[in-house]
Amino acid sequence: MNFLLPKLIAISFCFLLNTLLFAQPEFPFQDPKIDSEERISDLLERLTLKEKTAMMLYNSPGVERLGIPPYNWWNESLHGIGRAGKATVFPQAIGLAATFDEDLIYRVASAISDEARAKHNAAIAKGSYQQYTGLSFWTPNINIFRDPRWGRGQETYGEDPFLTAKLGVAYVEGLQGDHPKYLKAAACAKHFVVHSGPEATRHEFNAVPDEIDFRETYLPAFKKLVEAEVETVMCAYNQLFAEPCCGNKMLLQSILRDEWGFKGHIVSDCWALMDFISHQKVAKDGVEAAAMAAEAGVNLNCGTVYQNLHNAVEGGDISEARIDELLKPLLNSRIKLGLLDYEDQSPYANISPEILNSEEHRQLAWEAAAKSIVLLKNDKGVLPLNSDTIQKIFVTGPTAFDNMVLIGNYNGFSGNLVTLVEGMINKSDEGTIVEYAMGTLLNTETYHGYYHAQSSDVTIAAIGNSRMLEGEEGDAMLTDSGDRTDIRLPENQIELIRRIKKDAPDKPLIVVVTGGSAVALPEIAELADALLFVWYPGEQGGNAIADVIYGNMNPSGRLPVTFYKGTEDLPPFDDYSMRNRTYRYFKGDPLFPFGHGLSYSDFAYEDLAMPSEGSIEDETIEIEFFLTNTSIRSGEEVVQVYVKKPQEHFQMPIKSLVGVQHVWLTPGQKTLVTISIDVADLASWDLSTKQMVINPGAYQFEVGASSASIKLKGGITLE
């Protein structure tokens, strides 16, 4: 054995040396110890023109000679990892918005980013660089949901700029993480900007909002996300002020880069650059379209037009120096994600697949679903049901046993989707009969089984919309381009509720409505004893709805959109003026106002205290009052603060949300609530100085449970 020892030592030394050599970066751009700018400069010097322009395509090929693997930038995580197999399915974005809860959104986004890293790590381990395996996620959608007919409104955080910004920032911070060097994942603010339907003409229409609406409604959420250091901004399909959003220097350079100081990268919406040629007719071919988008500032092309970029350079339409400038933010994003390191140095390298749809994440999905449910009506305290006295429950309706209404769009699948029928079975005791019949289809005039209501103690009828009836262009199979032309439910669904009420007029009728948008429900609201709006509640939706129905969870969801009485209340769909739109400008009488949502608890507001005078230079205004739970049930009140500003221009909103706070109180508990209002959120657009300014004058504040349920009022004069 002794004669083998020197040979073994030599072999071991060679193996160790090779390992150490292999673990060292071959090029400076691969070394995470070097400054990012130096790494980028080193890589740019090594790349050919064709390699540079290829890296500006969403499906970027690898550069084998430099050891750079391919990378597909396209991934989705609207309410869970989408389109990539197993993942926790949280409530659709509009449902998350209904929680009014920044902390919850942050925790959901953080869980999503953990699952993102787990799936990415598993894909890379098997050499997969497919679409939907990367770490750059094109979400959140922070467009203002100005019109309930828009099929993609379900992807947004509602109609209010303040709420949209707060929740959008929370999502970005949760998804991107808080590491000082590495992003856990890259978020994207989309679609920049003034983009909210109609879907049928989204590739060509020209949005022309006036200056005040543009600055006070459409831009603020994007600005807040830029300030929160969102990594990506996606430009929209449509035109704005007669220029394509993805070729609009005013948008992408003057506002986004120069005015706001955005440092990340800009991605085109998918195949939007082709619209320059085919729909908007502003470019004659791919070379001209590529040069136009690049000159405007688009760093990354979701599509194929940037295949022409090297030809644009060789033809003199754009310089290689400009290509280098556009490529720098993309390379920086890859560095921040750890994708150019010689080996994975990120703190997320060891996140394993066990976290995917883990018990902890399923519980979070349940919490989010339960907190998103909005109790619109509860006559005579029908809810919560008393499980000790209920012997038979009849569940019916086209959405009661349909897992499609759980997931909305841009979704993943968990393998644990719980429908309303299954939720009621899960939460009902062994002595309670739960009977089910579909009753009717989504929009077909056939009815059956509703007669079971006569022999049941209570009927739960689940109706509403699904991704079959509303969604993105081409996704919704039963509507025109994904939008709804009428915000009422299909007539057959209303008829089902009529028949149930007629056959069992003395039995409690609970109506559960699914959907991603405001629905006109005047007749349903009249017929139902209790009315719940549950959005597209995610994989735990059935359990969460049942827990609210039984009182295991006290509802705290609030409407992030106004519920109108009918389509006739709405201005023309393609009119981008905010006049008579949303609670901020609507002069009519809504069916259910923005911020509305009932609880099983009652709360009393008392003794508002706030300063009567202040300065426009102040950072905050402190509002205090006492809140008491006057009921026998613990519950959470979602306190909302609205402001009425001095009349500085002809388009001042009626009121605007400027504060939200969740307060949990036990029966009889009284607490002092303090809400800090950021003075910066009181700003208005000044037409003369072309700036957002805080005007001196009298500001009236309203504190309450919704935009219409105002409990306390106070004022302050700012000088």
Rounded Cα–Cα distance for residues 280 and 144 (Å): 24
Rounded Cα–Cα distance for residues 145 and 686 (Å): 24
- Tell me the sheet residues that pair with 656: 643
Would you say 563 and 518 are in contact if contact means Cβ atoms under 8 Å apart?
yes
Helix (H) or strand (E) holding 284: none
CA distances from 439 to 393, 451, 505, 509 (A): 15, 9, 17, 14
- Neighbouring C-beta atoms of residue 224, cutoff 10 Å: 22
Would you say 534 and 372 are in contact if contact means Cβ atoms under 8 Å apart?
yes
- Tell me the sheet residues that pair with 663: 637
The beta-strand segments (E) located in 480-630 are: 509-514, 530-535, 603-609, 613-614, 620-629
Which position among 269, 275, 317, 547 bears the catalytic label? 269
Would you say 357 and 521 are in contact if contact means Cβ atoms under 8 Å apart?
no
Nearest to 534 by CA among 385, 418, 641: 418
Rounded Cα–Cα distance for residues 623 and 676 (Å): 6
Rounded Cα–Cα distance for residues 45 and 340 (Å): 15
Would you say 241 and 209 are in contact if contact means Cβ atoms under 8 Å apart?
no
Rounded Cα–Cα distance for residues 4 and 180 (Å): 50
Token couple for 523: 């007749």
Rounded Cα–Cα distance for residues 383 and 92 (Å): 25
Strands 656-665 and 635-644: antiparallel
How many residues comprise the chain? 719
Q: Does the annotation count 269 as an active-site position?
A: yes
Residues tagged active-site: 269
